[in-house]
Each structure stands twice: as C-alpha cells, then as structure tokens.
Amino acid sequence: MSEIYSPVSENELSDFVKQCFADQTSIEITGHSTKPIGRFIETSKILQLKKLDGIIEYFPEELYIKVKAGTSLKLVESELDKKNQELVFEPADLGHLYSGKSNPGSVGGAVACNLSGSRRFKVGALRDHILGIQGVNGKGEVIKSGGTVVKNVTGYDLSKLIAGSYGTLLALTEIVLKVHPKNEECQTLLINNINLEKALSFFLKSMQTSFEISGACFYPQNMSKFFKLNDLDTSTSITALRIEGPKISVTERINSLKNVFDEYKKNISILENYQSRIFWRDTSDLQFFNNSENIIVKIVLPPTYVNKFINKFENEDLKYVVDWAGNLIWCEVPKGDSVLLRQLRKQIIIFNGHMTIIKAPNHVRIREEFLTTVDENIKMLSLKVKESFDPKKILSPGKMYLEI
C-alpha cells in the first residue's frame, strides 16, 4: 500500500516533492481522496492536499476569493452565499455520483478536473474563472501565475494548462477564483414530449434569440424519474431552457420565449424560481446517475452530430442526458460492456469529439483509455508540457495517458 503524506504548509509540500524528485519516487496527487477520476495508477507515495485548507482572503466588493487548494467547495459556497455571491461556473457535486450523497470535494480537485456545470456554454469553463494559481512542480519548485485581478498582460496563462491536468503537472497550493453576484431570479421553460432531434433544433433557435439562455438540456423519457418536483412531468421527455437575471426581466424573457415556441404551447410549462434552481443543481450534480456502479462517460461533440451519434446506439443498453445546449452528452455504460465502450470511442473519433471516463470500476480504469480525442497530436503536446513541469514524470504518472 502506498504511503500517504498530508503536508500542512506549502514549504512542507515543496520539501517532500524535492526529496521525491531526488529519489525519482512517483507520487499520486489527491485532494480529499473521495473521487478516483482518471486512469488507475500505482505510485510509491500518495500526496493528499486536504490539510492545506482555509480561505486566505475574500473581498466581495473586488469579486474574488483566494483559498488553499484543499479547501472544501462546500465551505467556499457557504461563505459566498452570505454575501449573495456564487461561483458562476456551477461546480458539480460528484459526491452523488460516487457515493449517493453530497460531497463536493475540494477546490483544488475541482480545478484539477476542470469541473463545470450547465452554464458552461454561456459563461465558460471553470478554467476561465481562475485569476491566479500557486503550486509546486515536479522538481519541488514553487510556481505562481496570475493574481487577484483581471489584467491585460502578455505572457502565458498557466492556469489554463493546470485546470484539467488531473494533478499531472502541479501540486496546487493556492487558487484565486472570480466570484459573481447571484441572479435574483431563475426560471425554466419546459417542453415535454419531443424527441432529441427536435430538442436540438430548439436549442439552436433559442440561442439565436436575445433572451440570454443560460441552461439548455434534454432528458429522454426514461431518465427523469429521479426528480421530485411538483411542477415537473416526468412521464415524458423533458427539454429545458433556463433564463436568469432580474425578476422583471426574466419574466418578460420567459413569456417571449414561450411565444417563439407557440405551436408547442400545449407541451409547455414553467418552473418557477425555487424549483428551477433545484432542477439545474440536480442536473449539474449528475443526480440522474446517482451512486451508479456502471461506467459514466462525458462526451463532448459538435451539436450538429449529437442526434446522429445517439442514433448509432438506439438499440444498445445506453442511458444518456444531453446538456450544454447540445454540446455535452452524459452516458452510462454497463460496467461489463467493454464492447459498447469501444464502439462509443470509435464513433467519438468519427464525429470529431472527445470522451472522458468520469467514473469506472478499477479494472476498467486500468485497461481502458481515460481520454479519447480525435487528434493524436494532443498526446504529444501533453508529453511536452509534462516534461517542462515534471521532467522525471513523478507527479501522477499515467493518470491521463499511459506512459505520460
């Protein structure tokens, strides 16, 4: 069993990595060690960052918060809520997926996985909301990038590289995030009983309006039964379009959006503020795959290919939900069905997309690729970046790609 080391300061962390670099000892970097995302790897030591926790500074009027990497997302969101502010990228609480109960994990873990919720297509990914990062590279050196304000500067934005690197480039110690005022009102227009092809056309049509849609998802008929909302009909498919902002503005825009789809008015209903917020929280948190023992994959495709892609598997045992206005598909694959998983991977390449295995049993995490991309040059680029941050490849080696 790997030795677990939990430093309480950046200096301790740096000294630890310097020793591992000298000894060429491999390290797996984790936050709270609750969500094993990435390829299954065996290392000599595990570096756990959960003791590097706490809010360093929070200035609501400056719209930023600076925290240590091991700080609980729940603590951060609780502090922001006191000032009626939020992380606008809607960090997903994958505790529901992994254990059947809330466990958002750490800020560093969210950054390492670049976890972004349903607003992704409107406000950008988590990486777009990082103002600065600090951490320790594979030689034990402390690296700092960015600061606490948005500036127009020439140079490399390292936070873009670190977000989504799954602990293979840097052991994060501090993170500065942009925060935003909470929207006063959130309402959702629901269109029931239409198919995926029609839903995708509705996404496109709504995005071409001036109504500023901030959420657009599709639930097939067999995927919405988990919802416990009084005003939600879960007996049919659900197409949902979210509008947020000042209450008067939201009400006007929702009514205008209803008129756009007037021919389907018998299928239309509205989720008001309270239920609407629950709907989108549950969607971002993947409640539809709550505590699943199967393989959960995240597929990003050009929306024009999504219907064709799903049709390829209409007779397979594949459960799915579409989010990000048609750009994202969440799929559940039976844990023993390696054939279906490889068929998905093949079609991903054909349709110019990419796939990430978010949850899987260890035997799948050992055997199967974690990331599938259409461009093989990405692996070569990842190797070059890895070598610049971690020349001896001691930080989570093989977590993203075999032998990188």
Start-to-end Cα distance in the chain:
22
**pLDDT beyond 90 at 148:** no
Express each pLDDT in 10-52 by its tens digit: 999 999 999 999 999 999 999 988 889 999 999 999 999 999 9
Q: Is the pLDDT of residue 398 over 50?
A: yes
For the four alpha carbons of 34, 37, 39 and 45, in that order, the dihedral sign comes to negative
User: Is the model's pLDDT at 315 over the cut of 90?
Assistant: no
Rounded mean pLDDT of the chain? 94
Mean pLDDT, residues 150-168 taken together: 77
Query: Residue 152 — very low, low, confident or very high, per pLDDT cuts 50/70/90?
Result: very low
- Confidence check: pLDDT of 317 > 80: no
pLDDT of residue 318: 84
The answer to whether residue 336 scores a pLDDT higher than 90 is no
> Is residue 8 pLDDT above 90, yes or no?
yes
State the pLDDT at residue 153.
Answer: 47
CA atoms within 13 A of residue 315's CA, in its CB half-sphere: 1
| Separation CA 128–CA 49 (nearest Å) | 23
Grade residue 149 by pLDDT with cuts at 50, 70 and 90.
low
The predicted pLDDT at position 154 comes to: 46
Asked if 230 and 275 count as a contact pair (C-beta separation under 8 A), the reply is yes
**What is the distance between the alpha carbons of residues 343 and 108, in angstroms, rounded to a whole number?**
33
- What is the reported pLDDT for 33? 83
Q: pLDDT value at position 316? A: 77
User: What distance in Å separates the CA atoms of residue 313 and residue 299, rounded to the nearest whole number?
Assistant: 14
Is the pLDDT at 193 greater than 60? The verdict is: yes
Domains of the chain: 1-182+376-404 (3.30.465.10), 185-284 (3.30.70.2190), 287-373 (3.30.70.240)
Q: Which residue has the higher pLDDT, 336 or 73?
A: 73
What is the mean pLDDT of the segment spanning 190-204? 98
- At residue 1, the pLDDT reads 63
pTM: 0.95
Distances (CA, A) of 124 to 102, 117, 150, 217: 24, 10, 16, 16
d(CA 80, CA 142) in angstroms, rounded, equals 28
Q: Which residue is associated with the tokens 């990419």?
A: 354
How crowded is the C-beta side of 46, counted as CA atoms within 13 Å? 14
- Give CA–CA dist 334/250, Å, rounded: 41
Mean pLDDT of 140-157: 72
Residue 71: is its pLDDT beyond 70? yes
In the 3-class helix/strand/coil scheme, how is the chain assigned residue by residue?
Answer: CCEEECCCCHHHHHHHHHHHHHHCCCEEEECCCCCCCCCCCCCCEEEECCCCCCEEEEEHHHCEEEEECCCEHHHHHHHHHHCCEECCCCCCCCHHHHHCCCCCCEHHHHHHHCCCCCCHHHHCCHHHHEEEEEEECCCCCEEEEECCCCCCCCCCCHHHHHCCCCCCCCEEEEEEEECEECCCEEEEEEEECCCHHHHHHHHHHHHCCCCCEEEEEEECHHHCCCCCCCCCCCCCCEEEEEEEECHHHHHHHHHHHHHHCHHHHHHEEEECHHHHHHHHHHHHCCHHHCCCCCEEEEEECCHHHHHHHHHCCCCCCCEEEEEHHHCEEEEEECCCCHHHHHHHHHHHHHCCCEEEEEECCHHHHHHCCCEEECCCHHHHHHHHHHHHHCCCCCECCCCCCCCC
The percent of residues in the chain predicted with pLDDT above 90, rounded, is 90
Predicted local distance difference test score (pLDDT) of residue 10: 98
One-letter amino acid of 238: I
* Whether pLDDT at 151 is above 60: no
Q: Is the pLDDT of residue 372 over 80?
A: yes
CA 187 to chain CA centroid, Å, is: 23
| Average of per-residue pLDDT across 316-326 | 92
Q: What is the pLDDT of residues 255-297, one digit of tens each?
A: 999 999 999 999 999 999 999 999 999 999 999 999 999 999 9
